[in-house]
């Protein structure tokens, strides 16, 4: 229990670190003038100005841009810089691309539609632009992703299911042992209380008390190895579940 608590606490701290991706301040157009304000004061409809090195303070739609490249790795995990423009590709452009490369995937079409969108927590790598805020806080894509990570449904892993089944079988076996020993003692004329105590002692001895500790330590070692590779594991059993995965994307 202590190992699990410590690991979950560390995971919560790691998730809290994600909130640092939200910029504390930004440049916005207020009353016709550029003003440096706190990002939490932004509301949909505000105009923000973004320069190279700025972190996008909210989900925005571009109004104007010049050679704008954005790093969306904090949101999508993709290291490639994304070209952004206030004008999404036209249908003629998409048709021309398809004639050279074949039918386009849904992901490619969605990426083109998102060319005019900037997402909170992403970073402007090159260029500059102006954009109108369309969503803030937990209503942004980043906020929804963060909320899903916190509220993920806990399901039993194959290991937990196996452990539960083993526990049930051992419990039934223990009760069976108690019953058999008590019955033998009664037949032999021995005291029922003495036979019951012997049966309980044997039943307790039959349960492998060290098994949960061994499993927890093994999972904790797996978590430590994954942490060394910058992977956040919120729950210990998730390590065992990953052992059943064939593709991680």
The answer, yes or no, to whether residue 67 has pLDDT greater than 80, is yes
| Residue 203 predicted with pLDDT over 50 | yes
- The topology under which CATH files domain 22-150 is 2.70.150
Averaged pLDDT for residues 34-62: 90
Domain boundaries, the chain: 2-9+153-242, 22-150
**CA end-to-end span of the chain, whole Å?**
31
Q: Which residue has the higher pLDDT, 126 or 198?
A: 126
Q: What is the pLDDT at residue 96?
A: 47
Q: Which of 71, 80, 46 is nearest to 60 (CA)?
A: 46
Average pLDDT estimate for 68-77: 84
pLDDT of residue 229: 75
Local structure of 74: helix, strand or coil: helix
Please check whether residue 180 is in contact with residue 198, taking contact to mean a CB–CB distance below 8 angstroms: no
Q: Among 36-45, 140-149, 227-236, where is mean pLDDT lowest?
A: 227-236
pLDDT > 80? residue 109:
no
Residue 155: pLDDT band (50, 70, 90) is: low
- Helix (H) / strand (E) element for 172: namely helix 158-187
- Indicate if the pLDDT at residue 51 is higher than 60: yes
pLDDT of residue 62: 92
CA separation (Å) from 237 to 25, 54, 152? Answer: 39, 38, 14
CB 27 within 8 A of CB 41: no
Is the distance from CB of 206 to CB of 173 less than 8 angstroms?
Answer: yes
154: three-class secondary structure by DSSP: coil
pLDDT confidence of residue 103: 57
Determine the pLDDT at residue 18: 53
Contacts of 249 (CB under 8 A, 6+ apart): none
Name the residue with tokens 């706190």: 38
Cβ-contact 98, 88 below 8 angstroms = no
* Helix axes of 210-227 and 158-187: crossing angle, nearest 10 degrees: 170
Mean pLDDT of 190-207: 75
Six token digits for residue 61: 């739609």
* Tokens (6 digits) for 137: 């806080």
In the block, tokens 């039918």 appear at: 103
pLDDT band at 97, cuts 50/70/90?
low
């Amino acid at each position: 229990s202590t190992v699990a608590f410590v690991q979950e606490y560390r995971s919560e701290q790691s998730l809290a670190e994600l909130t640092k991706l939200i910029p504390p301040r930004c440049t916005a157009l207020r009353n016709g003038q550029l003003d440096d304000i706190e990002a939490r004061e932004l509301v949909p409809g505000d105009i923000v100005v973004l320069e190279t090195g700025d972190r996008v303070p909210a989900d925005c739609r571009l109004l104007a841009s010049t050679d704008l490249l954005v790093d969306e790795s904090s949101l999508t995990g993709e290291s490639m810089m994304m070209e952004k423009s206030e004008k999404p590709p036209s249908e003629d452009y998409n048709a021309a691309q398809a004639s050279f490369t074949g039918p386009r995937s849904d992901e490619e079409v969605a990426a083109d539609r998102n060319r005019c969108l900037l997402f909170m927590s992403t970073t402007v790598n090159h260029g500059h632009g102006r954009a109108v805020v369309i969503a803030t806080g937990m209503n942004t894509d980043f906020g929804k992703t963060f909320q899903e990570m916190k509220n993920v449904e806990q399901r039993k892993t194959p290991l937990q299911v196996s452990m539960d089944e083993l526990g049930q079988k051992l419990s039934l076996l223990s009760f069976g042992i108690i019953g058999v020993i008590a019955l033998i003692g009664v037949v032999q004329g021995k005291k029922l209380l003495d036979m019951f105590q012997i049966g309980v002692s044997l039943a307790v001895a039959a349960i492998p008390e060290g098994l949960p500790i061994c499993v927890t330590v093994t999972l904790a070692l797996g978590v430590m190895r994954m942490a060394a590779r910058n992977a956040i594991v919120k729950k210990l059993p998730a390590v065992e579940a990953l052992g059943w995965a064939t593709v991680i994307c």
